[in-house]
Chain A
Amino acid sequence: MKRESRFFSYAILLVCALFVLIPVAWAISTSLKDVSEATAYPPRWIPAAPTLDNYSFVIQSEKLRRYFQNSFEVIFITIAVSLLLGVPAAYAVERGKFRGKEGMMKALLATKMLAGVAIIVPLYLVISRIGAYDTRTALIAVYAATVLPTVVWLLRGFVARVPKELEEAAEVDGCSPFGSFLRVTLPLLRTGIVAAAVFIFVTIWNDFLIAYSLVQAETNRTIQIGIYFFVSDTGVQWGRMMAAVLVSSVPVLSIYALLQRSFIQGMGGGAVKE
Chain B
Amino acid sequence: MSGFLTASVAQGAPAVPAQRRLRGRGTAVFFWPAFTLVMAVATLPILYAFYQSVHASKFLNVGAFVGAANFERFFSRGTGLWNSIVFTIGSVGLAVPLGVAAALALTRIERGRNFLRTLLIVPWLISNVVVAQLWGWLMNPQLGPVGYAVQQFGSTMPNPVNSDFWSMPLLVLVHTWTAFPLVMVMTYAALQTVPKETLEAATIDGATTMQQIFLVMLPLIRNTILITVLLTTINSLNNATLVLVLTGGGPGGATETLALQIFNEGLKFFRMGVAAAGSVVVFALNVVFAAVYFKVLEEERK
Known: A116-B259, A148-B37, A168-B6. 9 other contacts (CB 8 A): A5-B209, A10-B109, A16-B120, A101-B28, A113-B286, A118-B238, A121-B278, A212-B267, A245-B130
| A96 nearest in chain B by CB position | B27
Cβ-neighbour of A172 out of B9, B31, B259, B289 (below 8 A): B9
Q: Give chain B residues whose Cβ lies under 8 Å from the Cβ of A88.
A: 30-31, 33-34
B134/A9 in contact, CB under 8 A: no
- Cα(A24)–Cα(B49), bound, Å: 39
Query: A217 on the interface (CB 8 Å rule)?
Result: no
B182 to chain A, nearest CB (A): 8
With CB as the reference atom, state the residue of chain B lying closest to A225.
B129
CB distance from B173 to the nearest CB of A (A): 9
Q: How far is the CB of B19 from chain A (nearest CB, A)?
A: 5
Q: Dominant SS at the B interface?
A: helix
Whether A121 and B276, one on each chain, are in contact in the complex, defined by CB atoms closer than 8 angstroms, is yes
Interface SS of chain A: helix, strand, loop or mixed?
helix
> How many residue-residue contacts, CB under 8 A, span A and B?
312
Task: Fill in one digit per residue for A145-171: 1 if any B CB lies within 8 Å of its CB, else 0.
Answer: 110110010000000000011001101
Given A208-B241, A272-B186, A172 contacting B129 (CB threshold 8 A)? no
A141 in contact with B37 given A16-B102, A120-B240, A171-B15 (CB within 8 Å): yes
Nearest to B151 among chain A residues (CB) is A42
Q: Point out the residues of chain A lying under 8 angstroms from B238, CB to CB.
A: 116-118
B contacts, CB < 8 Å to A: 1-2, 5-6, 8-9, 15, 18-19, 21-31, 33-35, 37-46, 48-49, 52, 60, 98, 101-102, 104-106, 108-109, 116, 118-131, 133-135, 137-138, 142-145, 148, 177, 180, 185-186, 189, 209, 234, 237-241, 245, 258-259, 262-263, 265-267, 272, 275-276, 278-280, 282-283, 286-287, 289-290, 293-294
Closest chain A CB from B269 CB (angstroms):
11
